[in-house]
Amino acid sequence: VTMTDGEGGLPVVRVSTAVASGEVYLHGAHVTSWQPAGAEPVIWLSAESEFRPGAPIRGGVPICFPWFGAGRTPSLAPAHGFARIAPWRLTGASDDDGTVTLTFALTHDDASGAPGADRWPFRFTAGYTVTFGAELTLALTVRNAGDEAFSFEEALHTYLAVADARTATVDGLDGARYLDKTSSGEPRQVLQSGPVTFTSETDRVYLQGAPTTLLDPGSRAITITPENGADTVVWNPWVAKAAAMADFGDDEWPAMVCVETANALGDAVTLGPGESHTLRVTYAVR
């Protein structure tokens, strides 16, 4: 485990063992890579990503907190909350036979300088545990450290590398209802039938937190096992939206699919003083 200056001079924790390699930027506690030994990289990162204070990293695993997207009305900025642009602290590192667990922390005080932090002025502590091994496990624990109840949304917004999004599918959501965020106005509610396929811009909040499998034909399957997430977000920007994003290469969209474990929209989490909540997800390659 080493801490060095990464892209843009931002501090990054790098892990490399016989079991797996990985890296996490303190900026956002942002996982930008995970590669189990013998496997291709699992996490996608844009070659056009910015790496600077105030801007989110494009790709990897943004932590969306304390709101998802623009939040609920009134709409909030920055998109996906301030945790992904706040300076987290590394609080621990341990190695169990090559499986490395890193822990990070962010409090209300740590985040106070981040854009948007004043929009959600509650006293909280967040702990983030990243385990790089044959599997990747991410766990975000939020605790109410104040004396009034608060509500928040959250997502572990994983960008997964695929050979071609146009032939990839997501299994496990058959029969689930989803909110289609590509329709204008209030998102429409739609019923999923069969596996999710990608044939145009796809931006959906599935109101189901069950295990899914991202099938990448001819390549591999990535299993995604969530815990305490009520929603699964599936996103691919496709041609026009990729072209419109300055930090996303115009031709990069076929190489990624986001499958996100979330509590968003109607599934915000409410914590009373002293209460805590853990959102966890495990990825494995088959």
**Catalytic pick among 135, 260, 275, 277:** 260
**Catalytic pick among 157, 201, 227, 275:** 157
Indicate which single residue of 23, 231, 252, 260 sits in contact with ligand BG6 (rule: CB under 6 A): 260
Q: N- to C-terminal Cα distance for the chain?
A: 26
80 is catalytic: no
Tell the smallest beta-carbon distance from residue 60 to ligand BG6 (Å). Answer: 11
Indicate which single residue of 23, 153, 154, 203 sits in contact with ligand BG6 (rule: CB under 6 A): 203
CA count, 13 A, side-chain hemisphere, 76:
22
CA diameter of the chain: 53
Tell the smallest beta-carbon distance from residue 2 to ligand BG6 (Å). Answer: 28
Whose tokens are 């930027």? That residue is: 25
Tell the smallest beta-carbon distance from residue 277 to ligand BG6 (Å). Answer: 20
DSSP state of 255: G
**Residue 181 makes contact with ligand BG6 by CB under 6 A:** yes
Of 154 and 203, the one with the shorter C-beta distance to ligand BG6 is 203
Tell the smallest beta-carbon distance from residue 192 to ligand BG6 (Å). Answer: 16
Beta bridge partners of 244: none
Residue nearest to ligand BG6 as judged by C-beta position: 79
On whether the CB atoms of residues 190 and 203 are closer than 8 A, the answer is: no
**Residue 80 makes contact with ligand BG6 by CB under 6 A:** yes
Of 198 and 235, the one with the shorter C-beta distance to ligand BG6 is 235
- Closest alpha carbon to 276 in 157, 127, 176: 127
| Separation in Å, CA 157 to CA 19, 43, 51, 97 | 24, 11, 17, 28
Of 27 and 157, the one with the shorter C-beta distance to ligand BG6 is 157
Tell the smallest beta-carbon distance from residue 76 to ligand BG6 (Å). Answer: 12
Residues 250, 241: Cα–Cα separation, whole Å = 9
Tell the smallest beta-carbon distance from residue 235 to ligand BG6 (Å). Answer: 4
Beta bridge partners of 124: 144
Indicate which single residue of 20, 45, 138, 233 sits in contact with ligand BG6 (rule: CB under 6 A): 233
Compute, in degrees rounded to 10, the torsion defined by CA atoms 194, 198, 200, 203: 80
157 is catalytic: yes
On whether the CB atoms of residues 249 and 46 are closer than 8 A, the answer is: yes
Of 30 and 157, the one with the shorter C-beta distance to ligand BG6 is 157
Other CB atoms within 10 Å distance of the CB of residue 127: 20
**Residue 157 makes contact with ligand BG6 by CB under 6 A:** yes
Indicate which single residue of 22, 56, 66, 172 sits in contact with ligand BG6 (rule: CB under 6 A): 56
| Separation in Å, CA 111 to CA 78, 82, 140 | 13, 8, 16
- Binding residues for ligand BG6, rule: CB under 6 A, are 56, 69, 79-80, 157, 181, 203, 233, 235, 260
**Residues with catalytic annotation?**
157, 260
